[in-house]
Amino acid sequence: MGLRRPRGSVTMARFAEPDPTMTTPVPRRVAAALLTISTLAGCGPGSGQTPGPAATTRHDSATRADSTSDDVSGVDKPIAEPMREQATAGKQPTREASPAAFDLQRFVDAQDRVVRAPATTAYEVAVAELKAGAKQEHWMWFVFPQLTGLARNPSPMSQRYAIVSLAEARAYLADPVLGRRLADCARLLLAQPALGATAIFSTVDAAKLQSSMTLFSIAAAGAANPFREVLEHSFGGRVDAATVKRLADPGH
């Protein structure tokens, strides 16, 4: 079975170099990261491959208005429900903040929260579901976080666990717990048959995974990383256009 291409995704080659149609120049660090990804994928300059056709932004009106998977009200969701109040508490750092100012502990706390008896954590549930090849519970926000600003009407949970900048994404990868866990989860996906992300996730969560892997592929550019491999394995090498466009903002 061939890989299915999620609506609105864009080939890596599409963003191998700064897009001259953008009104804001792509920062050098982002352009270099994207060039690295496309080169490693075999579709960058000099590869002889032709970039695929442009596609519309993934986060269209259907998905930008946060999905029902972000709604933690009225449904028995043992992972999401205990964190409803916590999601609205505290303030996130602005995207101009230094890496040391990022509240990465919020991710550790969410992943380590006991959600099943006798002592099963949310992260352990996520790992078990990834190994089984079927996501059931609601842990996407804090296991595969995305860049802020992608959803039109984000839920408190989405806002709480959004990554505010490329600097925070790099700090996340540098964290000894979070970076290792994210890489481990990516490798669990790579161990699954290459049937496309929707074989494991809902359509909405597959799009979120693509956003997350695009963000961390760029954050980890310059070295082989499992996040780029997930894009190849589950999305045919296509990055999320909305994430790339937002990272092109000089503020990121």
Report the alpha-carbon angle 214-215-219, nearest 5.
115
What is the DSSP code string of 22-33? Answer: -SSPPPHHHHHH
Q: What is the pLDDT of residue 103?
A: 96
Mean pLDDT of the chain: 75
Please name each of the domains of the chain with its CATH number: 9-46+56-247 (1.25.40.380)
Q: Strand, helix or coil at 193?
A: coil
| C-alpha distance from residue 88 to each of 147, 180, 207 (Å) | 18, 27, 24
The owner of tokens 């000089």 is: 250
Q: Beta partners for 11?
A: 238
Average of per-residue pLDDT across 129-137: 97
Q: What are phi and psi of 73, to 5 degrees?
A: -105, 140
The conformation of residue 54, written as its DSSP 8-state character, comes to P
Task: Say what the pLDDT of residue 102 is.
Answer: 94
How many other CB atoms are found less than 10 A from the CB of residue 45?
12
Choose between 24 and 106: higher pLDDT. Answer: 106
Structure tokens at 170: 């790099």
Q: What is the pTM of this model?
A: 0.69
What is the per-residue burial (b if ≥16 Cβ within 10 Å, else e) of 56-81? ebbbeeebbebbebbebeeeebebbe
Provide the residue type at 72 as one letter. Answer: V
* Start-to-end Cα distance in the chain: 38
Tokens coding 197: 């992300």
Predicted pLDDT at 185: 99
Write out pLDDT tens, residues 96-109: 455 568 999 999 99
| Rg of the chain over all Cα atoms, to the nearest angstrom | 17
Percent of the chain with pLDDT over 70: 59
